[in-house]
Amino acid sequence: MVTAGFSLSPVLPEFILAIGALALLLLGAIGGERWTKALYELAIVILGVVLLTVVFNHRAPSVSFDGAFVDDAFAHFMKVLALFGSITTLLMSIPFLRQQGINKFEFPILVMLSTLGMLTLISAGNLIALYLGFELMSLALYVIAAFHREDGRASEAGLKYFVLGALSSGLLLYGASLIYGFAGSIDFGVIGTALQGNKAIGVVFGLVFLSAGLAFKMSAVPFHMWTPDVYEGAPTPVTAFFATAPKMAAVAITVRVIITAFPGILAQWQQIIVFISIASMILGSFAAIGQTNFKRLMAYSAIGNMGFALVGLSAGTEAGVFGVLIYMLIYLVMTLGTFAAILAMKRKGLNIETTADLAGLSQHNGPMAFFLAMIMFSLAGVPPLAGFFAKFYVFQAAIQANLFGLAIIGVLSSVVAAYYYLRIVKIMYFDAPVEAFDPMSPAVNAVLALSGGFVFLFWLWPEHFVNAATAAAHSLF
């Protein structure tokens, strides 16, 4: 990997996003509500430009700012996913926020600032850059969780997320300080060299606390407790944002830290990741069974999916990281499609969230029912849909690493989780129909159709995604 001096080239996407967010903030402060619609559109344009910059600005892997910022294929892959999640949720949010009377100019700026934190976090090369990205991402999320100030549920969601987020930051900082104390450096690469074979109890404690802070952002057990309440209480577009883009950044930095900073103590961190993975899969699969609120059900689904993704990381191999990357790509598309369907659940101008409201959907809106059914089948892991390949790659990596018990638990958890996914399909196609939904907005319609089409047709053209994920995984080793 090339070590670069001071250059704007590696941080060009972050620079564009930071300048764009500050410019929009200034425009919003001066123009007020008159500029609101234009600011949403400008935010989407700026995020789109940043996405294109990441995709087409090909450079040799480099480390800049004294090791704080890493620019490699892994960072590019995960940044594309995070930016895609941010752009899509912002597109879907406009009609909802306008209907609820909360389409304030601050919302797209907060999304942009949070996304800036995600990009910084994904490229973090040392513990200080990790914390700065972590907090920049989180501070904006605390605000948008409670963005609907007149809604008691949203205010409660924001408060819970803030309090537990502050706790997770403290845990992460304490773990980082312990690791720094034993390794004598904050740089991931130097830490990896210093801790080769170091099995001191302090290192393990540092790993545990660091993993706790990262697990919070991933919604992984046992730091998942905020997820169902925040998902249910926050406005639906905010929930869609929480469920997608920040998850990409959290998983990306977890993989980078584990693989680059602790390669010599695999036995120690593998136990931690395996425990988190198993606990998340089991709780996510069983706790969702009794849920009737669609958003709350998706919260437990997210917890379970993070457990499945961590199965790949548990292997500690290049194949395992490849599995994680493919899993997060497919998870992102499936989740965006599901929340597009939730945003489309509206009658007489009122949004509804219970799964029972989907009864007989196939008779009122056949295309919506079909695409949502494809996404549910994919989440359940039914072949040949995209979700099957996501789980296949992570389980295959676990088996190759001789983690047979973990793979078996993962498969059994998938079987349990299939119940509540397939139950939604049953409600849409076999239950007595209720009143039809209002017409969908074009953006929501497009996201649902494209997501459903992606999971349905992924097996026909997977090469581009597989090649990109292979290159990204290889760049870490």
Contact between 246 and 231 (Cβ < 8 Å): no
Residue 64 phi, psi (nearest 5): -130, 175
pLDDT confidence of residue 183: 86
pLDDT confidence of residue 10: 82
Cα 376 to the chain's mean position, in Å?
18
CA distances from 396 to 235, 242, 315, 320, 391 (A): 38, 29, 10, 8, 8
pLDDT confidence of residue 6: 52
Beta bridge partners of 293: 354
**How far apart are the C-alpha atoms of 416 and 163, rounded to whole Å?**
32
Query: Residue 414: left if φ>0, alpha if ψ -120 to 50, beta else—which one?
Result: alpha
424-470 pLDDT tens trace: 999 999 988 888 888 888 899 999 999 999 999 998 888 889 999 99
pLDDT(312) > 70: yes
pLDDT confidence of residue 4: 46
CA distances from 298 to 229, 302, 333 (A): 11, 6, 14
pLDDT confidence of residue 226: 87
Nearest to 243 by CA among 328, 311, 171: 328
Find the helix or strand (DSSP H, E) in which 394 lies: helix 386-400
Classify residue 15 by burial, with Cβ atoms within 10 Å: 0-12, 13-18, 19+: middle
**How far apart are the C-alpha atoms of 30 and 35, rounded to whole Å?**
9
Cα 37 to the chain's mean position, in Å?
27
Beta bridge partners of 346: 351
CA distances from 277 to 215, 248, 270, 307, 381 (A): 10, 16, 10, 4, 17
Tokens for 71? 């620019």
Contact between 242 and 231 (Cβ < 8 Å): yes
- Name the residue type at position 327: Y
**How far apart are the C-alpha atoms of 408 and 398, rounded to whole Å?**
10
HEC string of 396-465? HHHHHCCCHHHHHHHHHHHHHHHHHHHHHHHHHHHCCCCCCCCCCCHHHHHHHHHHHHHHHHHHHCCHHH
Residue boundaries of the structural domains of the chain: 265-477
Contact between 275 and 294 (Cβ < 8 Å): no
pLDDT(264) > 90: no
Cα 433 to the chain's mean position, in Å?
34
104-154 pLDDT tens trace: 888 999 999 999 999 999 999 899 999 999 999 999 999 898 888 777 788
- DSSP-derived secondary structure letter, 357: G
Three-state secondary-structure class, residue 196: coil
Three-state secondary-structure class, residue 348: coil
Q: What is the DSSP pairing of strand 2-3 with strand 346-347?
A: unpaired
Find the helix or strand (DSSP H, E) in which 30 lies: helix 12-31
Mean pLDDT (the chain, rounded): 89
323-349 pLDDT tens trace: 999 999 999 999 999 999 999 988 877
- By percentage, how much of the chain surpasses pLDDT 90? 57
Assign 101 a pLDDT band (cuts: 50, 70, 90). Answer: confident
157-179 pLDDT tens trace: 888 888 888 888 999 999 999 99
pLDDT confidence of residue 425: 93
Radius of gyration of the chain (CA): 21
- DSSP-derived secondary structure letter, 64: E
Choice among 33-37, 359-363, 460-464 with the minimum mean pLDDT: 33-37
Contact between 103 and 36 (Cβ < 8 Å): yes
Assign 36 a pLDDT band (cuts: 50, 70, 90). Answer: confident
**How far apart are the C-alpha atoms of 42 and 27, rounded to whole Å?**
11
Sign, CA torsion 392/398/404/409: negative
283-308 pLDDT tens trace: 999 999 988 899 999 999 999 999 99
Residue 291 phi, psi (nearest 5): -80, 135
pLDDT confidence of residue 197: 67
CB atoms within 10 A of CB 436: 12
Nearest to 262 by CA among 368, 175, 326: 175
pLDDT(38) > 90: no
Contact between 387 and 320 (Cβ < 8 Å): no
pLDDT, mean of residues 228-251: 91
pLDDT confidence of residue 199: 64
